[in-house]
Amino acid sequence: MNTVSDGLPQSPPPSPPGIQHHPAPLIERNSAITEPAWVRWSLILVALLFLLGFLLLPLVTVFVEALRNGWSAYLAALTEPDALAAIRLTLLTAAIAVTANLIFGLAAAWAIAKFEFRGKSLLITLIDLPFSVSPVVAGLIYILIFGAHGWAGPWLMDHGIKVAFAVPGIVLATIFVTFPFIARELIPLMQEQGTEYEQAALSLGASGWQTFWHVTLPNIRWGLLYGVLLCNARAMGEFGAVSVISGHIRGQTNTMPLHVEILYNEYQFSAAFAVASLLALLALLTLGVKAWLEWRHADQLAATRRH
Amino acid sequence: MSPTVFAQGHTPRIARTSARRSVIPGFGLTLGYTLLYLSLIVLIPLAGVFYKSAGLGLEGIWAIISTPRVLAALKLSFGAALIGATINAVFGTLIAWVFVRYTFPGKRFFDAIIDLPFALPTAVAGIALTALYAGNGWIGQYLEPLGIKVAYTPLGVIVACTFIGLPFVVRTVQPVLQDAEQELEEAAASLGANRWQTITRVILPTVLPAVLTGYALAFARAVGEYGSVIFIAGNLPMVSEIAPLLIIIKLEEFDYAGATAVATAMLILSFFLLLVINALQAWARRRHGGKP
Amino acid sequence: MDIRIRNVHKHFGPFIALGGIDLDIASGELIALLGPSGSGKTTLLRVIAGLEFPDHGQILFGGVDMARHPVRERRIGFVFQHYALFKHMTVFENIAFGLRIRPRNQRPSTSAIRARVLELLDLVQLSGLEQRFPSQLSGGQRQRVALARALAIDPRVLLLDEPFGALDAKVRKDLRQWLRDLHHKTGVTTIFVTHDQEEALELADRIVIMNGGAIEQVGPVDQVYEHPRTPFVFDFLGGTNVIAAELRGRRLWIGDRDIAVLHDSIHPSGPVDVYVRPGDLRLADDTAPGIQVEIQTVHRAGPIVRITARTEATGQPLSIELPHLHHDVPCFTVGARLRLRLMQFSVYPRSLHIPERTLPTPILIGRERTRVHPY
């Protein structure tokens, strides 16, 4: 067996010329820049074992645990009223949060990508800010404002508006943690595309809105979908921030992840995993669509990708 | 070319003056909305935390943070995040390398799976990791006889931090490796370098800024992580209790000041990390600036 | 170091990159591999370097077959098209790399490495820039750093892949002259790949013209230019006009005019193609043998006039480059008729005609070509 340092496998003696039509390469192609096969396969094995232990097995566990008590128990856990309420609230929250951040993302990307102004990089950094704030802190900041002892909480409550420990708080916290997703997908994409298309449309007499609808939007639609997809996955799955601000009121302020936690803490493991399996399916769907987008529409996704 | 109609609106003066020459409409509207929304959702609420903690004074904050329980929680959060990010820097780089350089069956599938921590809700990840690494779990049952207890110990926190941070390193390093010119390696080989020298002296230095950026991102995410950690941590005060959980405990005790102090400490660190990440990226751009 | 290449084959999947190459290169020669893209010239260079391995065949360095040795054992200097400078290293570190990575017992001392690097920097005229990073250099400077880095390991042969491809025209001209001087000083056997025939003609001692994975012609620059063996070579070394003609015995006829006698022709009578370069056409007086053309466009470009015209006898288009002489100017109007003399031309049997220069051509066997001077 060769070691890394002594390089390439010894080549077999050359075959007589003219006999083989497609002789196997004597030495692996690009041998100057690759490793011996045993090194390659060891590295692949290590990488896959790591992925298996940290990613794949947890995923499989969710489904195995969910079905531990059989299909009927599984379905019962999902159709129980509190579970249904949690599903409804999760869908509602995600719909509002994604829409709000979609509008923001488009506006921010338009301003940042199509114009030059001072303080632009600071603005981009600020848009990224929620990514580096702990979700728990994200929940806390709204409690400090809208909580019973907060600045705006008592006044709002006097007027019959409840934010903390209620649905508006959950939505706000979700918007916060998913804030940058769509914007940071669209900004680099629209920067890459420049302003020539828009200038062309305007020169042909299109209005600003027409230009946006007929020229800009078709060019960014896959990138937009990509951002919406990731934003939605996080919005439906957000736990920390929502946990702080929701108050955990069953049937009222319980989202699916919170419902999972409650069931788990009550030792209803299969029920917890049953609800979790729905979220895991959502994650798989997200990954599937994401992989498809990256494969099929890579040209319309931002060049740099980090979440 | 005249200034656009929208640009006459209530936009910040600096911005308007430099955007004046653009023919594209909508600058005032979109930037105005961006700033308004950013302020309402992010900046003002965050400023509230600092305002509240300013009320406590430095000494007040320090008094809260320096209690043994808070210190232990902060130490665990940062320590576990640091170790998790380090594991990810090593294995994430290795995984990125394997995926960019080699072909093997199932590559596409595994490549898609790497993003699982982004897509899987943290609470789900938390209970799944707990089930897996508990004494009777698929992996835990083999570790327990060796004397390695993962679930309900600080080790469990590290496992969760590793899970949550992995994609950051892989997805930052992958494109850089992808773009790395093979010619660089051929050049090194033509100058007499063996494979090990080529990797350590040419390839790794090239991807180092990306590895560090991924490291910082993974660390930043893991420090504040809550959902995937609390289930596996066991949450024993002084042993396996993380800082975000302490914030929640203090809130439930209506100790707003205490919660704010811990949050402030975490926020300051996060902002510091953000600066580090930006500096790293600027450094990487400078270093690899200009055409080859 | 002399290099002999024997029957080298290389394929990538179904594509045959090199189909049996034989080539001898003398020690200290400066050789150009010239050909269109896909002709195999870069593959040949990489096979010599050890960056690719031949399917079979031999690469002899001074009589020793190196075909199975990896690149790092060959001690060659390779300059990449885009230089492949290590971006995280300074100019100094780049040039010192090949020396610093040697095993301890073969590694020169730190001071010896330093002296060698400074000497090389002086040679490539970049003294004082050793602490710069590659991103702080111009294209021409990077090129010279890459060359110095390749020379640092005292290579037995210097291989350059499209060395001036990424530079603008002015820098390219300066560097050509400089590379020639450098080769003169160092005396290292040098092989470079180019698709620019002007570059090859100006720099090389000998040129190797490649096409479709095979060598079309090898020889000293002047000889190849003056005596192209195939229509492909003729076509590749400068613009070409093709005029249909007929050989009757030794007489060459274009249309109904007998324009030349081929003294040494061994072509059988029959249809042939006459290849003539635009610059090898001159105005003729009415009595001299020549061809009649009608001007279609006239374009003045400094000291020469570029004319496109139609050959009256065959209807074929013709491009002509004439010196810009005052007394001629009045005749250069669209629609005017000119009579042209073919100063130098080549005659090939009609079947050898290659319509597209990028099309790989079969290896031509028994090709015949006759070169004459018109009377």
pLDDT at residue C125 is higher than 50 = yes
The domain limits of chain B are 1-54, 56-289
Whether the CB of A22 is below 8 Å from some CB of chain C: the reply is yes
Instruction: Please state the separation of Cα B51 from the chain's center in Å.
Output: 26
pLDDT at residue B114 is higher than 90 = yes
A122 bridge partner residues: none
- Model pLDDT, residue B33: 94
* Other Cβ atoms closer than 10 A to C323: 11
- Model pLDDT, residue A62: 93
A88 contacts: CB under 8 Å, gap ≥ 6: none
Whether the CB of B179 is below 8 Å from some CB of chain C: the reply is no
The domain limits of chain A are 38-67, 71-305
pLDDT at residue C16 is higher than 60 = yes
pLDDT at residue C331 is higher than 80 = no
Identity at A201, one-letter amino acid code: A
Q: Which among A99, A84, A65, A105 is positioned nearest to A270, based on CA atoms?
A: A65
Q: Which among A238, A251, A307 is positioned nearest to A87, based on CA atoms?
A: A251
Percentage of the residues of chain B whose pLDDT score is greater than 70:
90
Q: What does the DSSP 8-state code read for residue C55?
A: S
First to last CA, chain B: 38
CA angle, C200 then C202 then C204, to 5°: 55
Of B93 and C264, the structure prediction assigns the larger pLDDT to: B93
- The structural architecture, per CATH, of the domain C3-226 is 3-Layer(aba) Sandwich (3.40)
Q: What is the pLDDT of residues C170-223, one digit of tens each?
A: 888 888 888 888 899 889 999 999 988 888 888 899 999 999 899 999 999 888
* Other Cβ atoms closer than 10 A to C288: 14
Cβ neighbours of C51 in A, within 8 Å:
30, 32
- Model pLDDT, residue C262: 76
Whether the CB of C53 is below 8 Å from some CB of chain A: the reply is yes
Instruction: Please state the separation of Cα B139 from the chain's center in Å.
Output: 26
Instruction: Say if CB C73 and CB C67 are below 8 A apart.
Output: no
SS3 label, residue A241: helix
The domain limits of chain C are 3-226, 231-372
| pLDDT band (50, 70, 90) for residue C265 | low
Whether the CB of C116 is below 8 Å from some CB of chain B: the reply is no
Q: How far apart are CA A97 and CA A161, in angstroms?
A: 19
Q: Which among C320, C208, B116, C194 is positioned nearest to A284, based on CA atoms?
A: B116
Tell me the mean pLDDT in the region C264-273: 75
What are the tokens at C324? 């810009």
Q: What is the pLDDT of residues A195-213, one digit of tens each?
A: 888 888 888 888 888 888 8
* Other Cβ atoms closer than 10 A to C316: 16
Least confident of A280-294, B12-26, C263-277: B12-26
The dihedral through the CA atoms of A40, A41, A43, A47 has a sign that is positive
Q: What is the mean pLDDT of chain B?
A: 85
Q: What is the pLDDT of residues B239-287, one digit of tens each?
A: 889 999 999 998 888 888 889 999 998 888 878 887 887 787 787 777 6
Token pair 């690097």 is found at C117
Cβ neighbours of B186 in C, within 8 Å:
51, 71, 78, 80, 84
Of A143 and B5, the structure prediction assigns the larger pLDDT to: A143
Of B40 and C262, the structure prediction assigns the larger pLDDT to: B40
Helices (H) and strands (E) in chain B, counts: 15, 0
- Model pLDDT, residue B4: 35
- Model pLDDT, residue B6: 36
User: Class of B56-289 per CATH?
Assistant: mainly alpha
What are the tokens at B224? 């504040």
- Model pLDDT, residue A3: 32
A44 closest CB neighbour out of B102, B185, B247: B102
Q: How far apart are CA C3 and CA C58, in angstroms?
A: 10
Q: What is the pLDDT along chain A (307 residues), one digit of tens a residue?
A: 333 333 333 333 333 333 333 333 334 445 567 788 888 999 999 999 999 989 999 999 999 999 988 899 999 989 999 999 999 999 999 999 999 999 999 999 999 998 889 989 899 989 988 988 899 999 999 988 888 777 888 888 888 888 888 889 999 999 999 999 999 899 988 888 888 888 888 888 888 888 888 888 988 998 899 999 999 999 999 999 998 888 766 667 889 999 999 999 999 988 999 999 999 999 999 999 988 888 888 777 765 443 3
- Model pLDDT, residue A246: 85
B30 closest CB neighbour out of A111, A132, A304: A111
pLDDT at residue C312 is higher than 90 = no
B77, B80, B84, B87: CA torsion to nearest 10: 150
pLDDT at residue B2 is higher than 60 = no
Considering all CA atoms of chain C, what is the largest pairwise distance in Å, rounded to the nearest integer?
80
CA angle, C100 then C106 then C110, to 5°: 45
Judged by CB atoms closer than 8 Å, whether chains meet at C87 and B188 is answered as no
Neighbours of chain B (3+ CB pairs under 8 A): A, C
- Model pLDDT, residue A41: 92
Instruction: Say if CB C234 and CB C275 are below 8 A apart.
Output: yes
Whether the CB of B1 is below 8 Å from some CB of chain A: the reply is no
C370 bridge partner residues: C347
Domain spanning C231-372: which superfamily?
Nucleic acid-binding proteins (2.40.50.140)
Whether the CB of A34 is below 8 Å from some CB of chain B: the reply is yes
Instruction: Say if CB B137 and CB B239 are below 8 A apart.
Output: no
| pLDDT band (50, 70, 90) for residue C351 | low
Which CATH number is A71-305 given?
A: 1.10.3720.10
ipTM, 2 decimals?
A: 0.83
- Model pLDDT, residue C327: 61
Instruction: Say if CB C98 and CB C152 are below 8 A apart.
Output: yes
First to last CA, chain C: 47
